[in-house]
Amino acid sequence: MPLHSSNKAQTMAEGSADTEAEIQKRLQELVDHLYTFRDHYFETHSVEDAARKQYDVEKEMEKTIAQMDEIDDTWKSKAFFLMLRGKALNVTPNHSQEAEDALSKAVKLDPGLVEGWNQLGEVYWKKMDVAAAKTCFLGALNHCKNKVSLRNLSMVMRQQRSQDSEENSRNIMDSVKEAKQAVQMDPQDGTSWYILGNAYLSLFFCTGQNPKISQQALNAYVQAERVDKTASSNPDLHLNRATLCKYEERFEGALEGFSQAAALEPSWTEPVMREQQLLDYLGKLCGLLSNKGKIRGKRLQNMLSSLTPSLLGHFGGSGGLEFKPLSSLEPGRNPGCVVLGRVVFSLMPEERVPFTFGLVDAEGTCYAVMVYNMVESWGVLIADSVTIPDPQLKQHNIKHKGQMFSFQSIRVDSPVQLLVNGKPQGPSTQASAIVAYRPQSD
């Protein structure tokens, strides 16, 4: 049973009769209750209370520390006491020097204290000392294979930066491997599933954006929420999944994710900013599409009248692809087809991905074209002709907070797939994607 300030005298009197195991059990119950309060906060509070969460957790921590400090001084130099006290102090998202000091003493007294190493690693992680955090998690694994060290090591591996791109790729592959092992040790642990999702997210963006890997990331996030109801109250999960949804042009899901992350952590400005940036982008895009970039009349007619078959390049002629108007495309990939049009506007979102332009064909149909993985210097100009083979069409009908956006777009995974003014775009136009997500708070 937990200790309370009202029975301090009784506790002190009984302290000598309590065994070390009994004292440890009481302290463990106190710390477990503190973490349950934090992790299940939204089961007893509404989302409207999100702004109070950190304050409430800090107050609960102070109460827990006060109750722990009532224990007889006999036990306060013991490794288990120092570890549990350090863990309680480590409950908040910010680095605590008190927690670091207590946990450092604990593992020195008992180097086999696996939970102590894991907690100390998390303290260093919050301090942004990645090397020290890695040492702690590896130290814990040397004593005992455990899911917490494995998934924390997965986080660390993704944060190791090198000038060697191959080494960075190996680190992310190792990150996936460690996270998978953590899930295998306990498939019912939502945190491990969430961290595996983040590992797949990183792998997706560093290895050519394989759609199978993006699906693995999304599946891991779904599994995290399925096995652990507290995962739905994790703002980082919502932001990271929204980032992936945006890249996959699931714009409504992205907006919902950014909005939910902001609601769960009101002091965190990034989700609000990214939600608004996406809304602004979609609003501008729909406006430009509706008026064809404000290019009208004779100028537009002249641009379209010069769309000749020669601009199809090697995609046209005998044995080439079937030339089709934009309006005849079916949702999804259209293999064996090629479309051609003129650029009437270009639009770059705040995160610079995707490069977006409006394409009008000879019939006057205007669709958006979204190009990914281009170098910063690549782009197209108004009046350029663009040829797109095997176009991948998507119909967007997005609703979010009273706003609606409806338009058609063609996705292009690399500029090397295109002809611009009849000319192929060389390999130098392609670059790896850059993604913003929140790895430091896995």
Mean pLDDT over residues 238-267, rounded?
Answer: 95
**One domain, residues 243 and 275:** yes
pTM: 0.85
**Does the pLDDT of residue 5 top 50, yes or no?**
no
**One domain, residues 35 and 84:** yes
**One domain, residues 234 and 297:** no
Mean pLDDT over residues 375-382, rounded?
Answer: 91
pLDDT at position 432: 58
- The answer to whether position 436 is within a domain reads no
**Cβ partners under 8 Å of residue 147, min gap 6:** 181, 182, 183, 185, 186, 189, 192
**Does the pLDDT of residue 373 top 90, yes or no?**
no
The domain in which residue 30 lies consists of 5-281
Tell me which of 140 and 162 has the higher pLDDT.
140
Which residues lie across from 424 on neighbouring strands?
Answer: 419
The model's confidence at residue 74, banded by pLDDT at 50, 70 and 90, is confident
Given 260, 281, 302, the domain boundary residue is 281
Given 230, 254, 281, the domain boundary residue is 281
CATH code for the domain of 323: 2.40.50.550
- The answer to whether position 130 is within a domain reads yes
**One domain, residues 251 and 323:** no
